[in-house]
Amino acid sequence: MKKAVFQMEPFSCPSCVKKIEGALARANGVQKVKVLFHSNKVRVEFDEAIVAANDLQELIEKLGYPVLSLKVA
């Protein structure tokens, strides 16, 4: 299991958090999602055999939320 942390631009509202969490939670290979509203981060645990961190970044950005940086551990 891999962990990714996406540094985001500041979120404008709690509904943004729900939109991102919902989309990532439905993605194949994602085990856990946590959006940290006040620190503008999205933490995701995922199975890299099923999905890549870059694919998750693309999903977030397609929702209209730019990713400033990505760290994978």
Domains and CATH numbers, the chain: 2-72 (3.30.70.100)
Please answer whether residues 59 and 25 qualify as being in contact, where contact means their C-beta atoms are separated by less than 8 angstroms: no
**SS3 for 28?**
coil
Q: Is the pLDDT of residue 11 over 90?
A: no
Q: What is the pLDDT of residues 15-66, one digit of tens each?
A: 888 999 999 999 999 999 999 998 999 999 999 999 999 999 999 999 999 9
Which single residue is written with the structure tokens 């990505």?
Answer: 70
